[in-house]
Amino acid sequence: MHRVDARLSVLLFAVSITPMTINGTAQTLPVRTIPARTLPTPATVSPEMQKLIAPAWDGSTAAVSKTTEQWKALIKQTDEPEAKHAESLATQLHVSVKEETIAGVRVYRVKPETIPAENRNRLLVHVHGGGYVYFGGMAATGEGILMAHYAQTEVLSIDYRMPPDFPFPAAVEDSVAVWNEVIKQHTPRNVALFGTSAGGGLTLAVVIRIKELGLPLPGALMVGTPWSDLTKTGDTYYTNEFVDNVLGSLDGSLEAAAKLYAGTHDRKEPLISPIYGDLSGFPPTILLSGTRDLFLSNTVRVHQKLLQSGVHADLLVFEGQSHAQYLEHDAPECAIALGEVAQFFGRNLDR
């Protein structure tokens, strides 16, 4: 019955709402009101995921204004428990983590206990999430440890420089500098690049940049719920606002992180918001999101742009999950998600 309803709606719309200015520079688009609703915890996910989905978002949409010292204190407070979590994950999964320096950038070499023959010449280069502000140091490694475990492949996790001292483009420059060294030791098509959230956006930005520089590209990408647009552009910034219990809203601390990272740069620059970049010629890419994810539009917009650019791109959307909840190792959905990524790397990387 969808067509009839839709056409009827268009008709009602045409007579009841002032015409839109949709092609001018100042767009005046209609706004709809959605009533308050109750959301049950879905019965269609694991009990462990239900525990993660059930709580309401506990953040605030109030504007954030901090001094440099206040930022540093907040970052320290955020990163310390995350670093401890990463250490305990490494112990639990028998994954080793060793700090190194490559091209002057701190990195962590993350190795699973056993590496099957087909993965011995492969490497997965990781850029962490955390809004381009958080998860420096050992906190950078959590996702890398999980991936080393599930993909049974060595991971190199880049601890790129971050604000307040080092805003954009430090994160891109550090990652590109490491890439430039990695390809001296490895066949580029044996190497994947991956990350989630800010790390997903950074994965895209780094590939745009190494294309510009004429460097060889990775063999495959995982782009997890990428922060591909740092402006409030994209439908699920609104439809999943407050529905997502991890990010809640762009307004508040996420917006503050975007401003701190962009610094004096326009947030629509392609190396900051890669949805505005040229994605043609990209390597095979797998994208991940969830039905409640504030970044679902950030994810599907990139997926469609990749497909329309002729790139092989696979999309996974997980039932009921808010932002990046597929990285929650306590739920069996984590093994499913990263298992699918591992298979994608297995199919698309050379050996």
Residues 156-195 within binding reach of its own copies (CB under 8 A): none
Judged by beta carbon, residue 128 or residue 209, the one nearer its own copies is 128
138 lies in the binding site for its own copies (CB under 8 A):
no
The stretch among 107-115, 259-267, 277-285, 288-296 that binds its own copies (CB under 8 A) is: 288-296
Q: List C-alpha distances in Å: 77 to 82, 134, 261.
A: 9, 10, 19
Q: Can you read off the two tokens belonging to residue 298?
A: 């950030």
Judged by DSSP in three states, 26 sits in coil
Judged by beta carbon, residue 123 or residue 290, the one nearer its own copies is 290
63 lies in the binding site for its own copies (CB under 8 A):
no
The stretch among 63-71, 99-107, 207-215, 319-327 that binds its own copies (CB under 8 A) is: 319-327
Q: List C-alpha distances in Å: 65 to 69, 75, 252, 289.
A: 12, 14, 10, 30
Q: How far is the CB of 5 from its own copies (least distance, A)?
A: 5
| 3-class SS string, 144-208 | HHHHHHHHCCCEEEECCCCCCCCCCCHHHHHHHHHHHHHHHHCCHHHEEEEEECHHHHHHHHHHH
Judged by beta carbon, residue 75 or residue 192, the one nearer its own copies is 75
Neighbours of 183 (CB within 10 A): 16
| Residue 94 contacts residue 112 (beta carbons within 8 Å) | yes
Q: How far is the CB of 32 from its own copies (least distance, A)?
A: 5
User: Which of 204, 301, 345, 348 touches its own copies by CB under 8 A?
Assistant: 301
User: Which of 106, 149, 209, 303 touches its own copies by CB under 8 A?
Assistant: 303
Judged by beta carbon, residue 58 or residue 69, the one nearer its own copies is 58
Map the footprint of its own copies across residues 209-228, applying CB under 8 A: none
87 lies in the binding site for its own copies (CB under 8 A):
no
User: Which of 247, 260, 262, 342 touches its own copies by CB under 8 A?
Assistant: 247
Judged by beta carbon, residue 34 or residue 117, the one nearer its own copies is 34
288 lies in the binding site for its own copies (CB under 8 A):
no
Q: Which residues of 324-346 are buried (b: 16+ CB within 10 A; e: fewer)?
A: bbbbbbebebbeebbebbbebbb
User: Which of 150, 160, 194, 318 touches its own copies by CB under 8 A?
Assistant: 318
Judged by beta carbon, residue 207 or residue 296, the one nearer its own copies is 296
208 lies in the binding site for its own copies (CB under 8 A):
no
Residue 238 CA to residue 222 CA, distance in Å, equals 25
Judged by beta carbon, residue 24 or residue 214, the one nearer its own copies is 24
Judged by beta carbon, residue 234 or residue 283, the one nearer its own copies is 234
Judged by beta carbon, residue 37 or residue 184, the one nearer its own copies is 37
**Helix H or strand E encompassing 344:** helix 332-348
- Residue among 218, 347, 341 at smallest CA distance from 282: 218
Q: List C-alpha distances in Å: 152 to 52, 141, 171, 290.
A: 27, 15, 27, 25
Map the footprint of its own copies across residues 30-59, applying CB under 8 A: 30-45, 47, 50-52, 54-59
6 lies in the binding site for its own copies (CB under 8 A):
yes
The stretch among 114-122, 153-161, 258-266, 323-331 that binds its own copies (CB under 8 A) is: 323-331
Can the peptide bond before residue 167 be classed as cis, meaning omega within 30 degrees of 0?
A: no
Q: Can you read off the two tokens belonging to residue 102?
A: 């490559």
